[in-house]
Amino acid sequence: MAVVRLRSPAGALINLSLRAGALALIEDNHTAFTFDEAGRLFSAFLDGRTYRRSLSNDVLEKSPGSRPGLAHRARRMLAREEVERLENRAYAFAANVAGWLAAPSSSDPDYARVRDALQRANTYSFARLEAERAIYQTIYGRVPIMPPDQYLALALQATEGCSFNACTFCGFYRDRRFHVKSPDEFRRHIAQVKAFLGRGISLRRSIFLGDANALLLAQPALHDVFDALHQAFAFGPQEAVSDTDSSQARPPMKGVYSFIDAFSTRRKTPAEFAELAARGLRRVYVGLETGDPELLKFLGKPNTPDDVSTLVSRLKQAGLSVGVIVLVGAGGRAFAGQHVANTIARVQDMPLDGGDVVYLSELVDYPGADYTQAATQTGIEPLSVPETKAQMRAFLQALRRGVNKPLVSYYDVREFVY
Ligand code: SF4
């Protein structure tokens, strides 16, 4: 970590820090901009609001809601002119800081590292970030979702879309056909991503293998995928990361993470999952959605809760960590009782431990999803906001952390940007 402090001409305290692949410029603890090591704006905090920019140059604004807590937070995507204003402000600030920093000369290595990172930031502008949007779209199309603990991962698409793509509540991949990349195509994809991100890749410390269910590939194809990853990136424990010299090769990736479904991977054995664990697969995320078989059928999932339990047991036998996702509010009032009771019983029966996580994800009326229409046609009334919060609390209280129990955490798909 490198830190430099200075005073602006107006007397404000300016903190510049370079750590974990990000340059942060902080003014008097009320305004902050962070940039990746290439110089792209990554996030901002100003006027009491938090902003998170995606590689497609969209910006999500998060502001405090009427009550404390994630569930009450207000979120919206900025309009293009607002994105331009925010980025102009960020880069004007970076240019000012560079001017203030230019005066002192110092042999302090922190000073040189921070100055270099700031110079790279000052090669960027709204126009350049807009130009990168087109490159991003060519490489990725879109990265619609990743799990909350992987929001900073490097997304690599061994497959595109979802092989099923028909669960009523899910609209993440409706705009694309399922596609399996050939080994050559995947290697080209990795090379394009690395070239696109440049030094900015140092912000990413793990790999998220996308899209929805890349682990459905046959075992030899998955071995090709992991070979390609190991040829392109160094893997190692996070503790081995040297943070003292930004000129070094980028720090090692701490592992590979991926969604998995419980229907197309039915034939994978614990031994096959163990092979992937030995090659760097660390945690997989499975949508249980509900432990209630009737509700799961209504949601259009082509598997049963038993299939999820079997899958989780095999993953745990293979030494993998698991993220289990529960869909809070699914089935509205009609299913609320059986959804809560059967989901709690199902999760409590899984062989989860302290290395696992249970995500409580609120049902969202996602564009392209059919859930709302299906529920309306069936006469299912949605939960009110207080009822949804009460259901969330019921899950939290029953599943909350204990000794060697999984972490239970909130997962708001509206907060994801890549
Ligand atoms: S929930 Fe999963 S399996 Fe169902 S459509 Fe969405 S990505 Fe595909």
Residue of the nearest CA to atom 5 in ligand 1?
165
pTM: 0.92
Residue 382: band (very low, low, confident or very high) from pLDDT cuts 50, 70, 90: very high
Pocket test for ligand 1, best of 169, 173, 286 (most atoms within 8 A of CB): 173
pLDDT digits (tens, 9 = 90+) for 292-341: 999 999 999 999 999 999 999 999 999 999 999 999 999 999 999 999 99
The mean pLDDT value for 366-378 works out to 88
Reported as type and span, the H/E element at residue 329 is: none
Asked if 232 and 190 touch (Cβ cutoff 8 Å), the reply is yes
Q: Does domain 141-415 have CATH number 3.40.50.1820?
A: no
Ligand 1 atom closest to the Cα of residue 169 is: 1
The pLDDT value recorded for residue 69 is 59
Phi, psi of 191 (to 5 degrees): -65, -40
The mean pLDDT value for 164-183 works out to 95
pLDDT digits (tens, 9 = 90+) for 53-106: 999 999 999 988 776 555 667 899 999 999 999 999 999 999 999 999 865 556
The pLDDT value recorded for residue 120 is 97
Q: What average pLDDT is seen over the chain?
A: 92
Tell me the C-alpha distance between 193 and 136, whole Å.
Answer: 9
The residue type found at 233 is: F
Between 80-102 and 109-121, two packed helices, what is the crossing angle to 10 degrees? 150
Tell me the C-alpha distance between 323 and 172, whole Å.
Answer: 19
Residue of the nearest CA to atom 2 in ligand 1?
212
The partner residues of 19 in beta bridges, in order of sequence, read 22
Residue of the nearest CA to atom 6 in ligand 1?
170
Least confident of 34-48, 105-119, 173-187, 297-311: 105-119
Ligand 1 atom closest to the Cα of residue 170 is: 6
DSSP 206-262: SEEEESS-GGGS-HHHHHHHHHHHHHH--B--GGG---S-TTSPPPPB--EEEEE-S
What's the number of CA atoms in the CB half-sphere (13 Å) around residue 299?
28
pLDDT digits (tens, 9 = 90+) for 1-17: 888 999 999 999 999 99
Residue, of 12 and 240, whose pLDDT is higher: 12
3-state helix, strand and coil shares in percent for the chain, rounded to the nearest 5: 40, 20, 40
Contacts of 12 by beta carbon, 8 Å cutoff, 6+ apart: 27, 28
Tell me the C-alpha distance between 116 and 108, whole Å.
Answer: 13
Least confident of 213-222, 350-359, 399-408: 399-408
- Taking the CB of residue 307, how many other CB atoms lie within 10 A of it? 19
Tell me the C-alpha distance between 250 and 243, whole Å.
Answer: 10
The mean pLDDT value for 45-53 works out to 95
CA angle 58, 59, 61 (to 5 degrees): 155
End-to-end CA distance of the chain: 25
State in Å: Cα 163 to ligand 1 middle. 8
Strands (E), 278-335: 281-289, 321-328
Token code pair at residue 77: 């995507």
State in Å: Cα 207 to ligand 1 middle. 20
Pocket residues: Cβ below 6 A from ligand 1: 162, 164-167, 170, 172-173, 212, 261, 287
State in Å: Cα 298 to ligand 1 middle. 14
SS3 assignment, position 15 = strand
The mean pLDDT value for 282-296 works out to 98
Question: Where do the domains of the chain lie?
Answer: 2-129, 141-415
Residue of the nearest CA to atom 4 in ligand 1?
167
